[in-house]
Amino acid sequence: MKKTAILFAGQGSQYIKMGQDFYNQFDYVKDIYKKASSILGYNIEDICFKENDLINQTIYTQPCVIVTSLAIYTVLMKELKISPNIMCGFSLGEYTALYASKVFDLESIIKLVKNRAEFMQDATKQTKGKMAAIIGMQQEILALLCKEQSKADEFVQIANFNCPGQYVVGGTAKAVEQLCEKALQSGARRAVVLNVSGAFHTPLMCLASNKMYDIIKRTKYSCPEVPVVMNCNAKYLNSKDLPELMKKQIESSVYFEDSIRLMINDEIDTFIEIGPGSVLTGLVKKIDSSKTLISINTLEDLKSLKENTEENNQIKY
């Protein structure tokens, strides 16, 4: 019997009309969007499904991505009734994982993400940080370059450990720009400043992380029914540590590669990505191409998985 992990997409994977085919097909998905809109105070269907510029603003992006992801997850569970062994999400996707493992209920998770988005957007306005993707460089060399560029009130660090040779750095604008130059001079294949509003997963987010810590401490939560691998330490969640871990989740690095290796060591051989896009399965393929990788982004993806499961018996849960 194969062991399965579900991966939940993060911010940056959003696009107009994401999740719309699930919304059109299932009434219970419409109910999720209706409840989310009531909690958020705006019509989330309009932002997800109609042409607009709001979808790429952090304050709207995060609720839209998580509602899309948890709606697709709900359909997957109802239609295929699988029993995943582990949950993991990339950055924002960790909140979907916590909902899916029943640490938080639907209302709580949407309220938390609404707060997270607002706090992070406020922090970006105050700190003016940047992020950049560094491709084709060894982790040890990049870490050393970051250390060399971090002086006085300027700093840069590895914010996302995605997969071998693919990292994202974040920090103060000047340090990030200089790091890109140094990385290219030191052999990096690419060094590209990202079109994001701030330096996520760095200490420049400490204002947001402190506010989230206070809110999560006041929010009711439960022990996970399915193990959850956490971003900030690539370890399984111990629920007593949840407020502190969710604080670190915003201001600390995302150890995605280490999280995947932990799951592989625990005999996970099938990874199912839930949410808009297919970025995470692409990263897993670069970490270990021998694993079965599935992305559920559209209704057609779900139908294909169902057919493979029922007719060809390729995947067992």
Q: Where in the sequence numbering do the catalytic residues fall? A: 91, 201
| Residue with the two structure tokens 């640490």 | 103
Q: Per the structure block, which two tokens stand in for 137?
A: 């460089």
Contact 249, 213 (CB under 8 A): no
Question: What are the φ and ψ backbone dihedral angles of 292, each rounded to 5 degrees?
Answer: -80, 125
User: How wide is the angle at C-alpha 60 spanned by C-alphas 28 and 253, nearest 5°?
Assistant: 105
Quick one: 33 exposed, middle or buried, by C-beta within 10 A (0-12, 13-18, 19+)?
Answer: buried
Q: What is the DSSP letter of 308?
A: I
128: which residues sit within 8 A by CB, 6+ positions away? 172, 173, 198
Contact 26, 82 (CB under 8 A): no
Instruction: Report the distance separating Cα 86 and Cα 171, nearest Å.
Output: 32
H or E stretch at 54: none
Outline where 57-192 has alpha helix (H): 58-80, 93-100, 106-127, 139-149, 173-185
Pairing of strands 86-89, 228-229: parallel
